[in-house]
Amino acid sequence: SVGEHLLDLIRALGLEIDAQANEAALPPKGGETERALLGKARIGQGKFRQDLIARWDGRCALTGVDRLHLLRPSHIKPWSGSNNEERLHPCNAFLLSAAYDAAFDAKLISFADDGAMILAEDFSVSDAQKAGINPGLTVAALTEKNRTYLAEHRLLLTAREKRLAAGSTT
């Protein structure tokens, strides 16, 4: 469809659509399941992805998987909490395969300054393995800037754990 073609073109230009509001919206009356999108576009994502592919030699920073369709740019310091420079800085991200990206984004895993994987308290080794995550993997070749961003990511993981301990589900 024309809409799908437009979305493909937007992605090819390195833009992403912030769809959080759309995800939370109730379906419209009359059974329609599609609607026109209005949202913020992330500018510079295409170059950012290319910079990460170059930085990580086209491979997942953990597994070595080299199939680009399976790899995701994974921000260390979240986009929403970053300034314009941090959002597109290649040291503020890893190139990760999908399961690792999802767990990292959800603050279920992080990494120590030596690159060793850290599991959240509520994400056991067994849970990680069921999700296809090998807790024994490490990120090699960390830069000092990676470590700075990782310190912030670990704080977010700890804050998430404290919210869970206090009974919050978010």
CB atoms within 10 A of CB 104: 24
The single-letter DSSP state of residue 79 is G
Whole-angstrom Cα distance, residue 59 to residue 109? 19
* Torsional class of 54: left (φ above 0), alpha (ψ -120 to 50), beta (otherwise): alpha
Q: For the segment 109-168, what is each residue's pLDDT rounded down to a tens digit?
A: 999 999 999 999 999 999 999 999 999 999 998 999 999 999 999 999 999 999 999 987
The single-letter DSSP state of residue 141 is S
Mean pLDDT, residues 56-82 taken together? 95
Tokens 């279920």 label which residue?
108
Point out which residues pair with 94 in neighbouring strands.
Answer: 74
pLDDT top residue among 163 and 24: 163
pTM of the model: 0.75
pLDDT top residue among 24 and 72: 72
Confidence band of 28 (pLDDT split at 50, 70, 90): low
Radius of gyration from C-alpha coordinates of the chain = 17
Q: What rounded mean pLDDT belongs to the chain? A: 85
The pLDDT of residue 139 is 97
